[in-house]
Amino acid sequence: MGVVRVLLPFALMGNGLAAGGMMIAVLGGAPLLLSLPTERYVPTHQFMVTRFDPFMPACMLTALVCDVALAFAAPTARASTLFTLSALLLVGAIVVSLTKNVPINRWIATVDPGRLPANWEQLDPRVRWSNWNRVRTALVVCSLAVLVAVTGTLL
């Protein structure tokens, strides 16, 4: 139980910060980006991404590493299963981030707001980015809910 007492607060902190950051993006960032005219969207996206990276990945990875370790150190099979579920939900969010959102972020970082591609209307990634952001947010928030539930069983 000693390892659990040490790692559980870090898992909760990392997961909670990640869920909070994701909720900020869903509730404020994405609606803002979707409402901006194109000439303001690109620099605003570029500005915001540099504020969330590397903070969000560090939070998610901290929570994931702790969840995996907790799955092995858990005092009961139920707790182990819940820590594993929390970790799997985080893995899902990381996969969505790496395969869907990060490529868009990297591409937008290279776009010159003063010289948008001629086919910008077809390339505009705002709706895709927002939709995938909702998916990864749901996964991180569900992971946090599982982590809170398992914490309750251990108190």
Task: Write down the pLDDT at residue 9.
Answer: 97
Task: Write down the pLDDT at residue 1.
Answer: 74
Residues of the chain with pLDDT under 50: none
Q: Are 40 and 114 in contact (CB under 8 A)?
A: no
Domain layout of the chain by residue ranges:
2-154
Q: Are 79 and 153 in contact (CB under 8 A)?
A: yes
Task: Write down the pLDDT at residue 97.
Answer: 97
- Phi/psi for 76 (5° steps) reads -135, 160
pTM of the predicted structure, to 2 decimals:
0.96
pLDDT digits (tens, 9 = 90+) for 128-154: 999 999 999 999 999 999 999 999 999
